[in-house]
Amino acid sequence: MHSGGVYTLVVPKSYDPLRPTSLVVGLHGGGAGGKDRTNVVGSGSSAMNFFQSEAERLGWIVVCPTALRAPWADEANDPFLMAILEEICALYHVDRNRIYLAGHSMGGFGTWHYGPKYAHLWAAISPNAGGGRPLLNRLEETMTGVYCHHGADDAVVGVGSDRELAKQMRDKGMDFVYCELPDSGHGWPDEVRAEMWEFFKVRRLAVTPGRAEKGKFAITEEAASSFLDKPSKRELAAFGPLSAAPVGAFGAVDPQQLLVDLAAGGGRAERAAAELATRSEPELAASVAKILADQKQAPDARRFAAEALGGMNQPSTLKVLRKATLDADLGVLRAAGIALGKLRDPEAAKSFDAAAKHLLSLFQSKKTGARIDFTDFEAHLHAATGLAEGITQAAAPATLSALQALADGLLFAPLEVPTSTRAGQDARVPRLALARSLVEACAALPAPSTHSLLDALAAKPELGVADRVAEIKSVRTP
């Protein structure tokens, strides 16, 4: 399982922890992105737009994960998806007899993949604008309902695969609805999704063998509370017996446990980093620095380690933070840059010049001529924004050269960034964020040395910083 995986969650206002609640797992569309095709186009947050309003109306929980790799059928996503399902069932009172899987485009392919593979988990599935070669016999055996939609004029994913699957489901006498509209293209129309929810509402999980007649499945109307699940061996190993008090519940947080949580990555690391950032013990900071320096650690664990060091304020950790600004992982680079600013690195100019040069080198490696994939563009500008934030906090005059290099390489140079409105991509968003961060960094440095860069940023109306630049210059004395 990838500790850095994320998901978007909606819990309705009507949620009652005493009542088992329906759950929908939504798979986003998109595909592989970036020059090396290891990035993911699409996200759980973008997919949630398809589910949120109806989930609130019905009082259902919806979780939309962001794939670790594209497509959804990639082996890395399998344990990730199952771990998310179990986490939601542990955190919220879910009716395991009313868990549904749905997705569109790449998510439609994913639904056809994970629907049959884990047919014993889903009360119904809804693949939309997807396709594949699913094991329909698994869905038939478990009596899993299928609501499938595909636009007849879909120019992105041909309708042929879903048409053939619909014929096979009809021949098998399966529980399914196939909806094909003549003019919906590669979309997922509101009326189709409304019908999908109605399909889900009346379907329940088939009882697994052993609870009904041996070797057969049967539909049950009874609720199956996820709160009655027995803890797994892995859960017991991680959290201890249910009767035990959590670490730190009745006293000071154990520093060694914080280090264990930090190395674990994910949400545990994030919480540990927040606590560690309030500590100032040199020995503890040294242990956190070891996690940051260890390339075998998960990138998100190292990123949170850098964040923790930014708050611990130990000069002895400056060396490892400087090295981390030259890391290949952009998240680690960004966090280390911010941390260096908080520690007021005495070698700020040298450190940030090297970090900017390194980041621009990584950026150039992702370009093809003057063209760069949006996912690569967004990730590198986000990292640059972190460096600018670090420079703002360091407030060291000689760091202006690093700001100028970032502006020249990422904002002023001619660049083509193809975007997809279908995937919710907008190149203006990371550009605006970086431009604003550069302006604020300039505001923290002495005038008039920064005026040339401020004027250059203000001269580009698409960056939207002209008013802020005018405000900064108006309150400065020559």
Res. 243: pLDDT tops 90: no
- How far is residue 142's CA from residue 133's CA, in Å, rounded to a whole number? 18
Res. 246: pLDDT tops 60: no
Quick one: how far is CA 243 from the chain centroid? Answer: 33
**pLDDT given at position 270:** 93
> How does pLDDT run across 40-50, given as a tens digit for each residue?
999 999 999 99
Which domains does the chain show, CATH number per domain? 7-228 (3.40.50.1820), 256-474 (1.25.10.10)
**pLDDT given at position 214:** 46
**pLDDT given at position 244:** 47
Half-sphere exposure of 366 (CA within 13 A, CB side): 29
- How far is residue 24's CA from residue 347's CA, in Å, rounded to a whole number? 51
Mean pLDDT of the chain: 91
The band of 322, judged by pLDDT with boundaries at 50, 70 and 90, is very high
Full DSSP string of 8-58: EEE--TT--TTS-EEEEEEE---EEESTTS-EEES-HHHHHTTTHHHHHHH
pTM across the whole model: 0.81
Q: What percentage of the chain exceeds 70 in pLDDT? A: 93
Q: Report whether 50 contacts 188 (CB < 8 A).
A: yes
**pLDDT given at position 294:** 97
Q: Tell me what the mean pLDDT of segment 271-293 comes to.
A: 96
CA distances from 452 to 76, 386, 403, 404, 444 (A): 48, 22, 12, 10, 15
**pLDDT given at position 238:** 58
Res. 3: pLDDT tops 80: no
Q: How many residues does the chain have?
A: 478
Question: What b-and-e string marks burial along 303-331, b requiring 16 or more CB atoms within 10 Å of the CB?
Answer: bbbbbbbbbbebeebbebbbebbbbebbb
> How does pLDDT run across 97-120, given as a tens digit for each residue?
999 999 999 999 999 999 999 999
Spatial neighbors of 407 by CB under 8 A, at least 6 apart, are: 438, 453, 456, 457
**pLDDT given at position 1:** 44
